[in-house]
Chain A
Amino acid sequence: MRSLHLIAVVAIAAGAAALAAAIGNDYYLRIGFMMCVYYLCAAGMNVLVGYAGQKSLGQAGLFAAGAYGAALLSTSLDMNAWVALGAAAVIAGLCGVLIAWPSLRVKGPYLAMVTLAFGIVVEKLVSEWTEVFGGAEGIYNIKPLAVAGVPFTNLHWVWFGIVLAVITHLLLRNLLTGRFGRAFLSLQADEIAAESVGVSVYRYKILAFVIAAVTCGIAGAMVAQQNQYLNSDFISFNLSIFILLLVLFGGSGSLYGPLIGAIALTLIDALLARWPPIQHFAYGGLLLFSLYAMPNGVAGLFARFFAKKPTAVPVQASAEKTEAPARRKDDQSRPLLEVASVSKNFGGVRPANDVTFRLQLGHVHALIGPNGAGKSTMINMISGVLTPSSGRIAFLGSEIGGLESHGICRLGVGRTFQNLRLFASLSVLENVLLGQHCRMKNGFWSSLFALPLAHREEAAANARALSILDTLGLRELAQTPAGSLPYGLQRRVELARALATEPQLLLLDEPAAGLNPQETSELGKLIVQISKLGITILMVEHHMDLVMAISDHVIVLDYGIKIAEGTPSVVQSDKRVIEAYLGAEAA
C-alpha cells in the first residue's frame, strides 16, 4: 500500500518533470516553478490550518523570513546558496516558534489578530528598515542555487521544485497519517479532551506552526534565489491571504488539497494576470463563494463523489488479548492517590474547602453530593484541568497538583467528562487510538521518516485499540465517526478512549448521566469488570443504586466540604448525608 503510493508519486513527479523538459518555454516553466513554491507553502499551512485548526493570517511574514534570510546570507555574508537555503528554513522555523508563542494563549479572532499583526510587522520592517532589507529598492545579486558552479536554469528550478514538493508530500504524509496527524486533529476538535489523553497542546501547536513556517520559509528562499532579486513588494498581506486560500480552496485537512489548490490557483493567477481588475475580482469571488459551495475545498468535493466505502477495518485479529496492565502488586496499604486539605476558590465561591481523602489501589470509589457540591471540580483538579488553590494532591506518592493534564495522563490517570468530549469528526477507532497517544514511543523524527519503530508502534496501538473496542463491544463501529453515534454509545467510546490511556486510576465524571436503566446496569457491570483488571476507579455519580451497588468506598461532598466517607452502608445511614440530600428537617 505504502510502496504503491510511493511508486505512483514518483511516477507522477517524473511525468511532470518530463513535461517541463518538453515545454522549455520560460513563461510556462515559471508557472510550473510557482506551482511548486505555492505547494510548499500550502502543504505546511495545511498542517496548521487543516489539521491543528489554527488560522494564520501572517504567513507572508514567514515567507519573508525565508526569502530575506536566504538573500541576506548569500549577499552580505557571502554564504553558499545551498547552505543559505538550509539556513533560511531554520530562520523561518525560529520565526515560527516566535509567532507560536503568543498564539498559544489566544484563540479565534484574537489568534487571527496576532498572526495578522505579525505579518504586518514583518511587511513594514522589510519595507521601512532600508539599511538592512533594502526596502522597495531591494536586494540584488542573490546567489542562485548551483551545481558544480553552474547556476540553475529555469528547467532546473522546476525540477528542484518538484523534488522538494515530492519530499514534502511524502514526509508530511508519513507524519499526518499516524500518531502526529491524530494529535493535530485532536487539537482542532477539543483541546481539553486532547490534553486528557496525553497530547500536549502547547507542544503540538508549536510544532504545527514550525512546520508551516519551515515549508513557507523554504518557498520564500527559493523565490528569492530563483529571481536573484528581492524587494519589499514580494511581501504583502495579500500573500498571506493567498496562502490561506490555497489551503481552503484546495481542501484543508486533506493530503491532496494543497496540491489541488496550488495548481488551480497558480493557473488562475497566470490566466488572469493580463487583466488585473478581473484578477482582483476573481479572487474576491473565490474567497466569497468557494467556501460556500465547497466547505471542504475541491478535495472535499472529490471525496464526496468518490465517497469512500468505510474501509474494512484493518483486521489484525487481535492476537494479543488485552493483557491487563498487570495488577501492580504494590503494598496494598499505600494509597494510590492522596488528596490532602485541597481547596479551590473561584472568586468568592469555594467548590472545594479543605478536602482530604485517599483512594485505595484496586477499589471502586464514588464521589457523591448534591448539585454544586464540588464533585466535578475535584475531578478536574485531580486530572489537571484546574489547579488547586491550596493543598496537595499526590499520585503514587508524587505531587501532581498543578501539573498539566497531559502529564498527569502520562503518569496513569485517565478520565471521562460529564458533558461528553469526544473528537466528534474522528472515527471511533481514531478516538481510541488517541487514547494510546501517550503510550506510543515513536517520536517526531521516526514518524516523519516512517522508521520501523513508527510502524511497530502504530501496529501495536492499533491492535490494542481494537481489543479494547472488542471488550466494550464497539468493534463493529470502529470506522464510524464518533459524533454520529447515539448518546449511550458515545459514552462508551469515551470510556474506551480513557481505557486506552492505560490508566492506573480512572476518573469517571457522571458516567451514567443520560443512560437508561438498562444501560446503567450494563455500565455497572463494565465498571466492575474494569476494576477487576486492577484499575482503581473514582466516579462521580448521581445514580445512587449504581453507586451503592458497586462502590467499595464512598466520599460525600457538600458545598465543597467533605461531610462523610466510608462504605456505602455507613454513608447511607450518616445523618449529615441525609441532611445534605433531603434537607435538615427530614433528618
Chain B
Amino acid sequence: MLIAVLQAVASGLAVGGAYALIALGFSITFTTTKTLNFSHGDFVSVGSFIGVTVLWLLLGMPINAPLAGVTISVWQQLVAAVVTVTVVGLVGVALYFLAVKPFAGKPGMSWVMTTIGFGIILTSIGLAVWGPSQLVVPSPVGDDTIRIAGVGIRPQEILMFVVAIIVMAVLDGVMHRTIMGKAMRAVAHDQRVASLMGINVTAVMVGAFFLSSALAGLSGFLIAPIASASLYVGLSIALKGFSGAIIGGLSNPRGCVLGGFALGVLESLVNLWQAQWREIVVFLLVILVLAVRPYGLLGFRTVEKV
C-alpha cells in the first residue's frame, strides 16, 4: 500500500511538472496583460508534434513514420527541444497580435473567445498535417524503468520533473533579479505607469506571450514520451495546469507552480482509488477552493478603492 502511494506521488510529481510549467505560463500572461490564453492546451499538443516533426526531419524520415525502436542521439533531441520551444513561442506571439492585443484591457473578456478560436484553428491545421492518431514517442533518456525502494520511475518522469524545477528556478531568478524581470513586474502592476517610466509595454507583453507559449511547447515536448502525443491530449493537460494556477492563485507565480505540482499529486492519488473519478474530484476541488478563497490559496487579493 505504501509503495503504491509512493508510486502515485512520484508519477504525480512528474505530471505535476508539466502542469506547473503550464500554470506558470498562465500566470505570466495574466500578471502582465490580465489575459489568459484559453488555447494553451492546443499549444501543448502542437508542441509535442513539432518536436516529433523536427526529429523526423533530422532523421530523414517521412512524417508520421513510427519512431519506436529508432535510436535518436542527444543532439538531435536537443535541437528538437530548442526548435519546439522557439516555434511554439512564435505562435504565441502571433496569438498575441491576432487574438489578445485588440481586446486586452477592454471590458467583456472577449479574449476568452478569440484565444479559443485561435486554438481551434491551430488544431485544425495540426489535424490536417499530422492527423488525429496517437503517436508513441521514444524518450530521450530511455524507457527502462528505474526502481528506487520498490517504486518504479521512468527516466522521462525524472527528466520532466528536473527540467520543470530548473526552468522555474531560472525564471524566478530572472523575474526578481534582472531589469527585464522588473520591467515585467512593473507592467503587471500598472501598465500606464510602466509606460510612463519608459518601459516598452507592448514589447513586454509580446515577451510574456512568447515565454508563456514556449513553456507550453516545452511541456508538450517533455510529456509526449509519457502520455504519447495526440492533438486531443493538450486540452485536458492544460485544463489541469489552469486549475493548478487558479488554486495557487494566478497573481502569484510561485503559488501557481506549487498548485501545478499539488494538482498532479492529487490527481495521481485519486487515480489510485478510482481512475474515472479523478477529473471530477480535481475540478470539484477547484470549485470548492475558489468558493472559499476567490483569489486562490496563495493569490493576492486586489482591493478596489472606493
Q: Which residues of A contact B (CB under 8 A)?
A: 53, 55, 57, 101-102, 105-110, 112-114, 116-118, 120-121, 124-125, 128, 192, 237, 241, 244-245, 248, 277, 280-281, 283-289, 291-292, 295, 376, 380, 385-386, 417-419, 421
Contacts and interface: CB of A to CB of B under 8 A. Distances in A.
B103 A291 contact: yes
Given A287-B116, A291-B114, A292-B114, A117 B291 contact: no
21 contacts: A102-B288, A110-B250, A113-B243, A114-B290, A116-B239, A117-B287, A121-B287, A124-B276, A192-B304, A244-B113, A277-B127, A281-B121, A283-B117, A284-B120, A284-B122, A285-B121, A288-B114, A288-B121, A291-B113, A291-B114, A292-B102
Give the interface SS of chain B, mostly helix, strand, loop or mixed: helix
Contact of B243 (A117, A277, A284, A286): A117
Q: Top 10 closest A-B pairs, CB basis?
A: A287-B117, A284-B120, A288-B117, A284-B121, A102-B291, A117-B283, A128-B276, A105-B294, A281-B124, A106-B294
Nearest to A385: B306
Chain B interface size, as a band, is 35 or more
A125 B283 CA distance: 11
Given A117-B284, A277-B127, 14 more contacts: A105-B290, A109-B30, A109-B250, A113-B246, A121-B279, A124-B280, A124-B283, A125-B280, A284-B118, A286-B117, A288-B118, A295-B110, A376-B306, A385-B306
Contacts, number: 126
Contact of A287 (B36, B114, B277): B114
A144 B99 CA distance: 43
A248 B114 CA distance: 11
B123 interface: yes
Contact of A121 (B110, B119, B242, B280): B280
Given A117-B283, A283-B117, A237 B246 contact: no
Interface of B: 30, 34, 36, 38, 98-99, 102-103, 107-110, 112-114, 116-124, 127-128, 235, 239, 242-243, 246, 250, 276-277, 279-280, 283-284, 286-288, 290-291, 294-296, 304-306
Contacts of B99: 288
A55 B112 contact: yes
Contacts of A380: 306
Nearest to A425: B107
Contacts of A117: 243, 283-284, 286-287
Contacts of B276: 124, 128
B102 to A, nearest CB: 6
Contact of A120 (B102, B116, B122, B279): B279
Contacts of A277: 124, 127-128
Contact of B242 (A107, A113, A128, A280): A113
A106 to B, nearest CB: 4
